[in-house]
Structures are given as structure tokens and as C-alpha cells.
Amino acid sequence: MSEQFERLSRLPLRDDLRGKHPYGAPQLDVPILLNVNENTYGVPDEVRQAIIAAICDEVGGLNRYPDREFTELRTNLAQYLGHGLTPDNLWAANGSNEVLQHLLQAFGGPGRSAIGFPPTYSMYPLLASSTGTRYIAGDGNGQFDLSAGDAARQVRESGANIVFLCSPNNPTGSALGLDVVEAVYEASQDAQAIVIVDEAYAEFAHTGTASALTLLEGRERLVVSRTMSKAFAMAGTRLGYLASAPEVADALRLVRLPYHLSAVTQATANAALTHSGKLLANVENIKAQRDRIVDSLRGMGLTPVASDANFVLFGGLEDPQRIWQGLLEAGVLIRDVGIPGHLRVTAGTETETTVFLGALEALLGETVS
């Protein structure tokens, strides 16, 4: 046990947090960062100027609390999503992680449970644990290949109060058919569960992949969560949001901290949304690199999972740790998500992808003594 861990264990920590490890994707100073699925393109100059101007307008008024209802932001987010949504259908927080935390605070908690389908987003069990919600690890069928019937059965049998569906799923990249969402919603009728479809990577899906936003009408327990951290190239802003029936947002008002979205966050996000076209301009380039990665890895004899996100999970590696380390030494940081024989890489710019593929090919060709 490290000295730091030992000191922590001497504190009067909540029993259910003892022995837990925090979320911790490595943050290393490496030239090519392809490990946390950011948009690796910088913010375009025009948008940068607009954000600076918007923040400047706020600075003189920073002695006051911000708009607690972030009305302008909810209006802009509703407009961006379309589907007939109004500001009343929108909620936002500091990253979609906080949006998910609000949902667990309001609908989970002691005596309640949430189900997810590993391999899926690693924060679901952590958010459940920090809110005292029991986490049920369902079966994601290896590569998150969930059929409507199987997912519905698991949800019905679990009796969970909250269901996490992630589409496109992290870390596999696979998108779920809407039939799965519909079947899960039906199956959660008895438990009256909140069904969350986490669409953090929706903008990268192949053309024709439908969003669960189309299912919101008439389903008051369905929630679709999104983020500005990925396609919008705004991970540093920390702005996530959801669309749902207005009463779900009202429930979240009961648990959010007062004024949880700072004036600077609101101004930045509003300026970004006004320039969404410019910010999203690189999504097609990223999708092309994602598809290139899948093709190239197949060509190297590896087994990439078909992806609708801005990353690719790939298997067929005898020694993933050696490859991860070798790539790091070549200046490329990717992610070991803990699946045996697999690694995950974010699709970056064309140049970054070329460096990654070249370094990987060289490592695979090395004879290991």
C-alpha cells in the first residue's frame, strides 16, 4: 500500500468509498494525445475571438451570481438539437459527467440501483458509488452488441431504477439501434426507471444512425445526454447537457448546487453554440480518420471494432502494455481500457493518425526477445 493510500485509509471515510480508486486517465506531456477522445483540432480563430468578446462582456458583472436558470444557454442548446425541443426540455451542467451525477442524485441513492452494460463508460459505476446507488453490471455481450430482447430482459430482471445505455458506446464505439432503446424503455415500465441514453459521441455516428432524441416525445422517463467536450472541441469548457421531459429537469433543480454554471462557462458555451458550424467543421475529417484507422488496423492483422465514435477499440494484441509503452516512447499517448488484448485510440488529425499508424506498424513488426 502506498504511503498516500495508507494515510487516506486512516481517515473517517465513508465505508462504501474505502479501497476505491478515482477516475484517472493519465495526463502526460506528450506531443500526440489520443487517449481521452477529445477533438484534437484547436478552436478556430474566429470562434476564439467570439469567446473572448463574450467573456469580456461578463467580466464587469462577475461581482454578481450568474443566471441560475442559464436561460440563454438552454435556448441555444434547444435550437442546436432541434427535434421540436424547447428550453424547458434542456438541462446543463459542468460536463455530462455532472449531468449524469445530477440524475443519480435525483433518481438513485441509497436503496436504489442503476444498471449499465460493460464494457461501457467507466464513470457509471463511480458515479453510482459516489451517490450511494448500487451498480448492477449487466452483460454487454463482449463488444456491446446488445439486442433489444436481451437488453430488455436484463433490465426487467434487474429491477433497476436507472438504466445507462451508451450510444455510440465508450470504449467500443458501437451504436445501438433505436429498437434497443424502445424495448428497454418498455421493460423498465414496472420499475418506473429513468432510462439514460448517453450520446456523448452522437455527432460522429455514420450517416443514417438515428438519435434517441427522436424517441423523447411521449416518454417522460427517457433522457438523452450530450456534451460539448467531443465534437464541439470544448472539453476545457466543461459543458454537458441533456434533453428530456421538462419535469426531469425540474427534478434536477432539486439537487444541483445554486448557480452551478459560472457566468464564464455560460458565456463561453453560448458563444461556441452561436458558431457551431465552424466548431463542428472538422467532424467529417475526424470521421474519415476514424474509418482510416479501422481499415489500416485490419490491414495490420488486428481486430478493430466498427466505430460510430471518434475513437477505435482494437484487439488482436499479444502484449498491449508493450505496444502502449512503445507508442508513448514514440510520442503518442493512447488508452488501455483494461480489456485483455485491446487498446483504444482517438481519431485525431490526418497527421496525428499517420504518426500513430506508423509507430504502431513499426512496433508490431519488432521481434520481441
Residues at the interface with ligand PMP (CB under 6 A): 37, 95-97, 121, 166, 170, 198, 200, 227, 229, 235, 240
SS3 call for 35: coil
Closest approach of ligand PMP to the CB of residue 92, in Å:
10
| Strand boundaries in 119-237, DSSP class E | 134-137, 162-166, 194-198, 222-227
Closest CB to ligand PMP among residues 204, 324: 204
Cα–Cα distance for residue pair 346/36, rounded to 1 Å: 7
Closest approach of ligand PMP to the CB of residue 286, in Å:
15
Closest approach of ligand PMP to the CB of residue 270, in Å:
17
Given a contact cutoff of 8 angstroms between Cβ atoms, the answer to whether 274 and 76 are in contact is yes
Kindly give the pairing relationship between strand 113-116 and strand 134-137.
parallel
| 129 Rama sector, left if φ>0, alpha if ψ -120 to 50, beta otherwise | alpha
Residue 101's nearest CA partner among 238, 214, 295, 277 is 238
| Closest residue to ligand PMP, based on beta-carbon distance | 95
Closest CB to ligand PMP among residues 201, 356: 201
Residue 348's nearest CA partner among 324, 331, 329, 325 is 331
Residue 25's nearest CA partner among 368, 311, 330, 283 is 311
Given a contact cutoff of 8 angstroms between Cβ atoms, the answer to whether 113 and 135 are in contact is yes
Closest approach of ligand PMP to the CB of residue 98, in Å:
7
Closest CB to ligand PMP among residues 121, 314: 121
Closest approach of ligand PMP to the CB of residue 198, in Å:
5
Residues 6+ away with beta carbon under 8 Å from 13: none
Closest approach of ligand PMP to the CB of residue 301, in Å:
28
Closest CB to ligand PMP among residues 120, 296: 120
Cα 312 to chain center, whole Å?
A: 14
Closest approach of ligand PMP to the CB of residue 43, in Å:
16
Closest CB to ligand PMP among residues 168, 296: 168
Closest CB to ligand PMP among residues 140, 240: 240
Closest CB to ligand PMP among residues 66, 240: 240
